Amino acid sequence: MQEYEKITIKEVVEEINERYFLPDIQRPYVWKESQVYALYDSIMRGYPISTFLFWVGESDIIDKLTFKYEFLSDNSKGTENVRSTTTPIEKYDYRIVLDGQQRLTTLYLTLKRNFAIRDNLQDLYFNILSGETEDDYGNLFEFKFFKIDYNYGNIFYDTKNEKLWINIKYLYSIDDEDDLGDSILDYVDSETDIDLSRKEKKYSKILWRLLRKEKLINYYPETYDKKLDEDKQLSRVLDIFVRMNSGGTILSKSDLLFSNLKKGWSEARNEFKNLLSKINGDNVYIFSNDFILKTCLFLFAKSSSDIKYSVKNSEKQVSNIQSEWENITSAIKITRDLLQDFGLTAHKLILSYNALIPIIYFIYKNDLKLVSPVNKLLIKQWLIKVLLNKSFGGQADTMLYINKSAIDKNSADGLFPNQAIIDSVAKKRSFFSIEDLLDKEKIKYESKESYLILSLIDSDVNFNPSSKTNLPQQDHIFSQSELTKNKISKEMKNSIFNLGYLSAIENQQKSDEPVESWLNRMSNKDREKYLIPDGKWKVEDYEQFLKERKKLFIQKLRKLI
């Protein structure tokens, strides 16, 4: 079994973008100043800065399996990692950083390149007079960014606050630690009247040694296994990669498999990015590269295994995806617009993005530029039913291919075969009636299903208002405090039949108002909108209220599916 190895920060930083590269995962640099300060404080205090994971392999093999991207030269707004054009001549291998991107990027920007804060380039400085007491954030040693264009110099003394600052980039660049000490003493003697203690003189040298001499980078080298074929090798690396990153930003296998698509189609990155920007809007939905890649694999699949994320599948479909890209994007955009027509206007209402893929396929297969009213109705009925039944909750690739086969066999008349698809899926997975779904799931307050069902009940809800005060919130018709006083169980209090949407401001105004008072203020139109059963309701009638409102829910939902 491979063992962890140790190297210095200098050894890594000096070979970034020569030997050390990032995999093509399109994850931005996101660290704030406070995280940078904490990293350097940990270094100074001798605390571990966690482990790193590098994928090590010969350059021609790594290049064959995935794109490598250069680390940022600065983190200004709008800058991105760019494809590397550097091919090491004397380096037989690459180290692709699978875990540790944020930390290494921070070290590289602060020691060698440029760090931008609100688009202003700044250098990191170390107060060598710090180290006595911790600040409010728990840092013992003080680090701070200063704007480059203010020309503070490599060393400067803040007389007012009695702080002696040294530029980290300058400190790191000095080859001999004695020269560093001489530079600090020369500045202090000529520019200040402070008397540096022996301990304070040492702090700058300690940091110099930690950055240049001490082996602080503890990394695991995942080496290329020549016994495995390329597909299995990359799959192994991806599994490690996903698990290592599961505690932070959620990553998936398609993040790296996507790079295989871009090997044969250089514009794939920009094309996918532009499409996502259009269909996601202002965070209305969260379509991803995963979704687009899965959709593309589905469109050309000849078996359920062809839908699976794998190196072979993504490579062999590059030419199909590229040549059909205009038609593919058209089908995706049309499907996205259908969601708006159906009142599914927010991410939280889309219980499964996989459920949209068969719709995209039907539109793509029939080369539709406009979906007829009849097809809109058929598609909406089918989509709501499969979302409520969680038809794509497991074995998604198998379920998707069953859907595709049913569409291929039953759409010759140009109509979306909703019932034929449902009949095919029902052979593998049960479909429930509205009554069974509402009983079986026991859908509760703020559950995923509750958002969808309440939106179907009240189709006028706007999840993307201009003002936050108009954001819809789930409201208890019988207030929780009122029900608690009457010893109603938590499960019954949070029943979906006691829920409805109110705007944030309306919900705040209603607060704990007794149900009798609130219902008395409602117009007949509002009572109909909220599906309030006829009659005067008191808290003593709560259980009956739930039963009567359930009947109204069933009637409304039956009309939809």
Q: HSE of 502 in the Cβ direction (CA atoms, 13 Å)?
A: 17
d(CA 67, CA 96): 10
Which residue positions in the chain have pLDDT lower than 50?
Answer: 26, 83-85, 89, 247-250
DSSP string, 318-376: HHHHHHTHHHHHHHHHHHHHHHHHTT--SGGG-S-GGGGHHHHHHHHHTT-SS--HHHH
| Residue 446 and residue 474 in contact, taking contact as beta carbons nearer than 8 Å | yes
pTM: 0.66
If we measure between CA atoms, which residue out of 378, 377, 468, 467 comes closest to residue 417? Answer: 378
Q: What is the pLDDT of residue 436?
A: 80
List pLDDT tens digits, range 86-122. Answer: 555 455 678 888 888 899 999 999 999 989 988 889 9
Phi, psi of 69 (to 5 degrees): -125, 145
Q: What is the pLDDT of residue 41?
A: 96
Place of tokens 């704030």: 32
Phi, psi of 126 (to 5 degrees): -120, 125
Q: What is the pLDDT of residue 346?
A: 93
Q: What is the pLDDT of residue 434?
A: 81
| Residue 472 and residue 463 in contact, taking contact as beta carbons nearer than 8 Å | yes
d(CA 334, CA 353): 15
138's CB contacts (< 8 A; 6+ apart) are 38
